[in-house]
Amino acid sequence: MPQKSYLFTSESVSEGHPDKVCDRVSDTIVDLYLGADPHARIAVETLATTNRIVLAGEVRGPDNIGPDELIDAARRAVREIGYEQRGFHWKTMDVTCLVHEQSADIAMGVDAAGNKDEGAGDQGIMFGHACRETDALMPAPIHYSHAILHSLAQARHAEKDSPLGPDAKSQVTLQYENGKPVRATSIVVSTQHAAHLEQAEVREIVRPHVLKILPEGWMCPEAEFYVNPTGRFVIGGPDGDAGLTGRKIIVDTYGGAAPHGGGAFSGKDPTKVDRSAAYACRYLAKNVVAAGLADKCTIQVSYAIGVSKPLSVYVETYGTGQVDEDKLSKVLQELVNLSPRGIREHLQLNRPIYARTSAYGHFGRAPEADGGFSWERTDIADELKRAF
């Protein structure tokens, strides 16, 4: 029997966290290429450290995008995050570009040719998840962890001389009773701040953002509300710790409340199933829950490099399902073509919509008018209902 009463914790990190700086730069470059050529191929990694960024990876796209354009994109991404500090400044940082052309061997396996459909860009397994814990159909701990940091970031961007810096982390622990979250038992927020602020002052700056995000009556006891528990957080971002693309994959997805296939998202164009198939799995799982066919749903797909059809599609509803899971798997595959091309076309992923995904979660966000977060739509829920 599944455990009914327990504590569960998830964390988030802000757009100014060193790893998230790298995700933002990599996805800004993805958008740069897709904005110029919807069928460009991009796999770009970023390293950030004290006043330095290194770009590496492989691309296939328009000739008019070269090292200078990639370096400008990196500076723009760092400027938009808000880094103008002595140890990390968008204008003065050194940017090294080591990006080169895509491997011909990889291109041959992925490209469509003759009777061969476009293949998966790599082997791997991808997961999607949805549940009824929040209106966004996301697990509650990660949902609130993201929202606290997003609220702090919005306030920082809105205030010209904000006392808060870009780097921040949050962690939310919730009490579950009968399998449902009922209150927070502890909240941790660490945020970079101006040198003149004392810990108690930072605590009171953070408090209203936490109270605004948590449901009424959910605030943890005062002794379990930890703000900058080390006491001081002035040096932050890549000046305080090195960052790399793709190191916050649990933050990016479900906060540990659902399985993860292991592949990162940022820096990859949508032919890479690490990204596109994970989006498709979330889309399917969310529609299953939105249709009332289950209260909780996880979907796994798997692929082989160069092969278009998924090797497996697995559906798990944790005993909450209202329909047969085998039939549900078949119906989902009839409604959505889960080949790499089918996913890209159904969710219209060949657009410059990725920089915005690089912080505060790839899932649980509102679909946007220009196609951003298209995988959060629930537009096949009615078809799923009719199928059963």
Active-site residue list? 17, 19-20, 45, 58, 169, 233, 241-242, 247-248, 268, 272, 274
Nearest to 170 by CA among 86, 248, 243: 248
**Angle at CA of residue 233, ends 232 and 238, nearest 5°:** 155
Pairing of strands 6-13, 84-85: unpaired
Quick one: tokens of 264?
Answer: 């990162």
239 is in an annotated binding site: no
Contact 16, 78 (CB under 8 A): no
Q: Is 86 annotated as a binding residue?
A: no
Q: What are φ and ψ of residue 239, in 5° steps?
A: -70, -25
Instruction: Tell me whether residue 272 is annotated as binding.
Output: yes
The string of DSSP codes covering 57-108 is: EEEE--TT--HHHHHHHHHHHHHHHT-EETTEETTTSEEEEEEEEPPHHHHH
The answer to whether 68 is annotated as binding is no
The CA distance from 257 to 97, in Å, is 37
19 belongs to an annotated ligand binding site: yes
325 is in an annotated binding site: no
- HSE-CB for 134 with a 13 A CA cutoff: 21
Tokens of 105: 């061997």
233 is in an annotated binding site: yes
**Contact present, 341 and 273 (Cβ < 8 Å):** no
Three-class secondary structure of residue 186 per DSSP: strand
Was 264 annotated as part of a binding site?
A: yes
Find out whether 45 is annotated in a ligand binding site: yes
Rounded to the nearest 5 percent, the helix, strand and coil shares of the chain are: 35, 25, 40
Residue-wise DSSP of 114-127: TTBPPPBSS-EEEE
Rounded to 5 degrees, φ, ψ at 117 are -75, 165
17 annotated as belonging to a binding site for a ligand: yes
Gap between the Cα atoms of 161 and 166, Å rounded: 12
- Cα(24)–Cα(195) distance, rounded to whole angstroms? 26
Nearest to residue 305, comparing CAs of 134, 105, 78?
105
Name the helix (H) or strand (E) containing 145. Answer: helix 140-158
167 is annotated as contributing to ligand binding = yes
- Binding residue per annotation — 241? yes
Residues making up the chain, counted from first to last: 388
Q: Would the annotation count 183 as a binding residue?
A: no
Going by the annotation, the residues of the binding site for K(+) are 45
Going by the annotation, the residues of the binding site for Mg(2+) are 19
Going by the annotation, the residues of the binding site for L-methionine are 58, 102, 241, 272
